[in-house]
Structure formats: structure tokens, C-alpha cells
Structure 1
Amino acid sequence: MKSLFSREQVDRNGSFQEHNRLQKQHVEEFGFNRAPRSLTAQTDDGLNAFIASVGQERLQELATGETSGGMPPQVLPMAESQLEQNLDLAIDSLISYFKSGQFGEFACPFNDYQKQPIVCRYAAFLPPNPVPIKRVLHWCNGRAESLLKNLQTIYALREFRGAGLALVMMDHPGQGFSSRYLKDPFKGFTRDFNELINAQKIFEGIIRPQLIEHNQSLGYENGFTYRVGGHSMGSGIATRLLQKYPDLADDWLFTSPMHNIDTPFHFQFDRFGVIEQIGVIILKFINILDRDFDYIPGRKPGYHPNPLPTKENPVMNKLTTSRLQTTFINRMRERYPGITLGAPTIVWLKESITECKKMRKQAGILRQAIASGKHLTVLRPTGEQVLGKKGQDRLYELVGEGMNVIDVDGEPKPQHEMLMEGPQIQHQAFSWLAEFAWGDGSLVASGPRTLGWV
């Protein structure tokens, strides 16, 4: 019988220890632990993988820019046929390209259950020498995701990297390659959302000087545009990051954003959210008694693969209508079981609801950011089932004019994971992301625009 006062998680079948062993193995594979608060040097194999993915002549064309007279960088996703033909071989190719990046880690100023600092791991995909960095995209993952979730995105934007785009990203405390808060590594937990926000700020403070140093080593003095984007919970973290540090980035993109958490306490007639406030108080009380940091009601312990969509029910898993992309997600977690995460805990739900309330309370900061010339854009799928649009709209109404909200439509209706949807929606999402990162930071509802040289 578990104690109401112990907060102990019992590893009855050795799965906790095995998860930790595998995660350590994955960390060593990519070399995160070889560069504390720095970046590993790019390996010859990594550079060769980058060159092979773009082509030597095309890389030269991208490096010389407009003077080459060639075509500006293009979005080039891995073909669906390549994924279908041999998924494992396609994943091998994507991981090979991923290893063309550089990696590192840093210790956070907050601790895990053993009173050891949480260690966050990060990756950077910089232009090859002698190409200077002209644009930076700082990407924030969603809940339960890892850096490897972005394999296809990073690959699709490889020509922009060749022309001067740096993509930088980290795994949030408690998930992915980063160390866990709890003894049970499967529980989706955060003690305080401020820790997730502060970790992103620490990462920015570590990575930005290294990007400046890259340009200085090339004698490039023009600087770069720094933009932040996020997905789902990552969008929520990015929003709170903006509210705490308005000058951190030039423009901001929120995809399938956690700007609201649907709960059983939402009622149409409760205009002022009184019932929701009572519900949060109930969750806080449960959290006090919940000494084992239990999963939210109805969720099973441990990690479970996503169910595959069918023709009869293409929105079965609420993440993507693509059977191939669902298989891809599941296969990646089979290959890297040490980065898997299970369902959220009650304390995570309570913290997330609280942060969404803070977003609305500080909507004026978003309004000021827009007035200062920053672009704030929302991309959300019309088929969204994970997050509630009515609650999102409450925030956007408070912000007022200038908050650019684009609803992405298709057939079947795109779901939460637009970057891992069917090829048409996925390509559109990649193109919008490229336009945000490479263009002037603004997007239009009519669709991605043709991009030129920077």
C-alpha cells in the first residue's frame, strides 16, 4: 500500500532502472555529455552527412547567396514514398543528418528527487563554415517530446541552414534527453512551470554567445535575427517566456498552442471562470494529498504507443490523421526507449492551468510587444482535439488587434501535430515555419509565400 506521505515511487519490475540506463546510453550516443554549457565540435561524419543531404554544388550556391544567381533556399521534406518504402532506412538517414548538429548540456539551478541538479540537453544546427548566421530559430518542444521529434523538420529546412539559418532547441527539464524530476521516469511532471521557463532563458543565455562567436570567427559583423517558436506546451512556455523577457526575441510563433487547458470545469455559462477557479482549488487540494504525484484520472502508468488512425476514424489518436506519421512516432520511441514519457500528473495539470491564467492576466505584455513591432503569430489546426479553441480565443481577444491567428484547414481536418501530418499539411506547416524563420517574421492566412535571399 502506498503511503499518503512518502512520495515514493516503487520500481516493482525494474523498468525505472532500465529506462535510466537506456537514457544514459542515448545521451552518450549523441555526445550531449561531452560539452557542458558549450557545443561539441562538428564531426567529419556529421559534416559529410550534411553535404550529402544538400549536395556540394548546391551548398556552394547557398553559401554565396544572391550573387550565385541560383535559386533561394527551398523547403525539402523527406518524400512520403521514401518513408513508406523502408521506414527504418529512412529513420537511419534522418538520424545521420541529425548527427550533423552539435550538442551540449547544462545543469539547472533546481533539483530532482535525489537533490541533484536537473540536467538539460540541447542541440544546435549551424550553417557550415564559412557561412555566417543570419537567422536563428529557437524552437520549444511540446510535452512528452524530445529533440528527435524534430527529425523531419530539421531535415526539411536543411537548405536554409546552408544559407545561414541556425536551428537551436533543448529538451525541457524532466523529458526527452534531459534528466527526470522523479524516481518514476515515465510520469509527466513539473514542480513549477517557472522552472521550464527559466530553463529556456538559461539555454538562450548559453547558446546566443556561441552563435555570436561563430559569426565573429568569420569576420561577419551584421548580427542575426533571433526568433522563437514553439509547439503545444512549448508554445505555452514561449508565451510565458515572452511575458517575462519581452526583448529576448524579435518575433514569436505559436503552433497548436497551449494557451488554454480544457478541463471538466469549463461551462458555457461561466463567463468569468468562477467554476474553473474552484476546480483549480480542488486540484491543489488533491495535489497536497497526492504524495505519489499520481497521473491525472483515467491515464495508465508508463509509456503507451499511439493508436494508428484508420480510414473509418482518421482522428483516432487526436495527434495526426497520418497512419505513417503515427508509425514513425512509435518507431522512434521503440528505437530510443530511454526518452519516452507517459501521461501527465495531477500537479502538471494544475501548473498548466495556472500558467494559462497568467497568460491571460498578462495579455497586455503581448499587446505591448506587438506595438513595438514584433510579430506574434498563431498557427492552429481546424481539427484540434487536444486543446480548446474557446479558451485560446479568450487570450487573443484580450490581446486585441495585431495577434495574427491562422486556422490551418484540410481534409481530413488536420490534428494537433501539423508538422507530422499528411504530406500536404506537413509541407504547408514546414513552409510557414521556414517563412517565419527566414522571412520578416510575419505570416499570412492565404498560405506560405515565396522566399528570397537574405
Structure 2
Amino acid sequence: MRSLTKGDFMGHSGVNISYAYLCHPHAIGAVAISTGRIESWVKYQEVMFDLYQNGYSVFIHDHRGQGLSGRMTRNPHMGFVDDFTDYVADFKLFYQKIIEPNTQHRPQLLCHSMGCAIGALYVLAHPQDFAQLIVCAPMFGIRPALPNWLASILIGANLLISRGLGHDASYFLGQKNYQETEFALNELTHSEIRYRLFRDEYNLQPEVQLGGVTGHWLRAALKAMDAIEAQASQISIPVWAIQAEADTVVDNKRQSRVLAKLPHCEVQQIFGARHEMLLEEDQYRRPCLAAILAFLRLANDR
């Protein structure tokens, strides 16, 4: 994309944050994208193009610890964050440094998976910044859904072992460095073409590769999801949720419970779609994208 602007800035606590944006010359609105775990803006170029072609300026950054942004562990493959408020602090800086100076529109926030948890925490902290929130396959609960007491014991043991060995972090049970999953075994999408393009991009730029989660990340994620559910009724802006009916990555049951607590929320389910609806086959991706564009236009009409 010829008009794509790329750069980086110093995020919260000195972590470098990578970003990209497209400024539409005749923009009808602006959209910020909050991506999911392991994702980078390099994976979202088709989505950015779709939004741009429909008249929107588009802004996206890589969350700390993934994509082209800075890593906080000696092993760059480890999924790590101290607290999800660090993601929010980076996002606020992105809003102030990059989004605000480059659009006259009050932007809308489009999120996927983990990015939805970050987005929800962001609008709780800064309700004035975005006109509305669109969440796709939101990570308001994860699978397998362990009881809190068991998760606490396992995470506590992981952190204790990590400290005892003098490590900055350790993988949680069963987690490991980045490894490409065969398409036939993947749980993200039915689209072999889009899946292959995503994996090829990550092979071309191995610095964006990210492996499994650490105990630190999992502890922070569980804390964030509990906070979102507890404060869901305080989210004052309109929320539009798109659920992937065949999702095996996030917990749709808890997701529905949280969405029901939002005071201004509409839910649409894409039957048969897997977790990454914007990476799906066209029969699933088209209705998802159509819903997103319809939701965006509603804010334009206000």
C-alpha cells in the first residue's frame, strides 16, 4: 500500500511501539485497530485496505511484546506482559502521538480477541476518546476455562519456579516457542489461502513471530478479564459485538455473559465462523466485514 505510513515511538516504561496508518484524503471517519495476541499490523493489511477503500483513515499499532514492537523477555518468543494496563498506557500514547494529529474525526475502535480486552479497558479509562467500540471474537474468557482456584495455583507455581531459576519469565504449561501449525490442524480459520498468506508473512519477517504465553501474561489476562466483567456496566459508549459461533479459542459462554452486562450493546453471531473472522473464508468474512462497515456508518450518521 503506497500511502502506508510506518514508524515507532517510545511506549510506556521505555518499550518501543511499532505502528502503521493510512490517511484517506477524503475520509468519512477514522478507525483504530486493536489486534489479538501474537498479531502484528503486517497481518492486517487486507483489513486496512478494506476500511480505506470504504472511506476511512486507519490506525494500528503492535502491542508491546509482540509484532514489531519491543519485547520484555530475554527469549523474544515468550508472550509476556506485567499488566494489561501497560497495553492501555501504550494505546493512549498512540492515540495522542499518532491518531489525534492525523484525523479530524472522532475515531472508532475495532478490536479482535485480546485486543478487545485491551479496548474494553481503554474505553473504561478514556471514555471520551472513541465514538464506539466494535469487538470481534472478544477475549472476555479463554479456553480451556479453568476454575479460578486451579488457575491461581498453576500460575503461582509457574511464577515461583521462574523466580527460583532466576528467569525473567517462564512458559506456562504446554507453551513453547513459535511453531507453525499445519492448516489442517489450525483452529483459527477455514481459509487456506489467507492462513498461508499470514504464515508466509511471518516467515518473511521472523522478528514478528511469537510463541506461547508465560505465567505472567496469563495472570495479567485473568485479572483483566475479571476487571472487564466487574466493570462492564460502566462502559458508556455503544458496543457492537460479532461472535464467531464455532470459536474454540475464546470462551463464548463467558463472552455472552459479559456482553449482556454492557448497557449499550448489540450482538451479531456469524454461524460456523472460527475465531479469526477477518482471516476467514469469504462466506464468513463477508458478513463480518459487512457488519463492521454497517456499525461504522451508524456513528457517521449520528
Q: Distance in 1 between matches of 2:253 and 2:202?
A: 33
**Could you list the per-position Cα deviations for residues 400-419 of structure 1 after superposition, in whole angstroms to 9, with x for gaps in the alignment?**
x532121111xxx2100100
Structure 1 partner of 2:267: 405
**Could you list the per-position Cα deviations for residues 399-442 of structure 1 after superposition, in whole angstroms to 9, with x for gaps in the alignment?**
3x532121111xxx2100100111121122222222333x0149
**Could you list the per-position Cα deviations for residues 149-177 of structure 1 after superposition, in whole angstroms to 9, with x for gaps in the alignment?**
1111122233224xxx2100100011111
Partner SS for 1:258: coil
Query: Are the aligned partners of 2:240 and 2:295 in contact in 1 as well (CA < 8 Å)?
Result: no
Structure 1 partner of 2:298: 440
The Cα RMSD (Å) is 2.0
Match of 2:101 among 207, 210, 222: 210
Instruction: Report the alpha carbon displacement of residue 285 of structure 1 after superposing the two structures with TM.
Output: 4.6
Q: Distance in 1 between matches of 2:231 and 2:152?
A: 19
Structure 1 residue identity aligned to 2:188: L
**Could you list the per-position Cα deviations for residues 298-352 of structure 1 after superposition, in whole angstroms to 9, with x for gaps in the alignment?**
123x21112212xxxxxx3110112222211111111111111111112111110
Q: Distance in 2 between matches of 1:173 and 1:124?
A: 17
Q: Distance in 1 between matches of 2:100 and 2:260?
A: 37
Structure 2 residue identity aligned to 1:339: V
Question: TM-score scaled by structure 1?
Answer: 0.62
Report the number of matched residues.
Answer: 298
Query: Are the aligned partners of 1:280 and 1:353 in contact in 2 as well (CA < 8 Å)?
Result: no
Query: Are the aligned partners of 1:382 and 1:408 in contact in 2 as well (CA < 8 Å)?
Result: yes
Q: How does 1:38-49 map to 2 (within 5 A)?
A: none
Q: How does 1:200-279 map to 2 (within 5 A)?
A: 200-212=91-103, 223-263=104-144, 265-266=146-147, 276-277=148-149, 279=151
Query: Are the aligned partners of 1:306 and 1:326 in contact in 2 as well (CA < 8 Å)?
Result: no
Structure 1 partner of 2:206: 337
Structure 1 residue identity aligned to 2:267: V
- 1:308 correspondence with 2:183: yes
Structure 2 partner of 1:113: none
Q: Distance in 2 between matches of 1:277 and 1:394?
A: 20
Q: Distance in 2 between matches of 1:278 and 1:303?
A: 26
Partner SS for 1:440: helix
Q: Distance in 2 between matches of 1:357 and 1:184?
A: 28
Structure 1 partner of 2:252: 389
Against the structure 1 CA distance between its residues 344 and 224, is the aligned structure 2 distance closer, same or farther, given a 3 Å change threshold?
Answer: same
Deviates more, 1:284-293 or 1:148-157: 284-293
Q: Distance in 1 between matches of 2:250 and 2:143?
A: 6
Match of 1:151 among 45, 53, 59: 45
Deviating beyond 6 angstroms after TM superposition, the runs of 4 or more aligned structure 1 residues are none
Q: Among all aligned residue pairs of Structure 1 and Structure 2, give the percentage whose two residues are the same amino acid.
A: 22
Long gaps (5+) in structure 1: 1-96, 111-116, 213-222, 267-275, 310-315, 443-452
Instruction: Report the alpha carbon displacement of residue 123 of structure 1 after superposing the two structures with TM.
Output: 0.9
Query: Are the aligned partners of 2:51 and 2:58 in contact in 1 as well (CA < 8 Å)?
Result: no
Long gaps (5+) in structure 2: none
Match of 2:59 among 162, 168, 180: 168
Question: TM-score scaled by structure 2?
Answer: 0.92
Q: Distance in 1 between matches of 2:144 and 2:88?
A: 23
Partner SS for 1:299: coil
- 1:418 correspondence with 2:270: no
Q: Distance in 1 between matches of 2:219 and 2:144?
A: 10
Q: Distance in 2 between matches of 1:167 and 1:157?
A: 7
Structure 2 residue identity aligned to 1:378: A
Partner SS for 1:187: coil
Structure 2 partner of 1:286: 158
Deviates more, 1:288-297 or 1:352-361: 288-297
Against the structure 1 CA distance between its residues 209 and 324, is the aligned structure 2 distance closer, same or farther, given a 3 Å change threshold?
Answer: closer
Query: Are the aligned partners of 1:261 and 1:387 in contact in 2 as well (CA < 8 Å)?
Result: yes
Structure 2 residue identity aligned to 1:296: F
Q: Distance in 2 between matches of 1:298 and 1:208?
A: 38
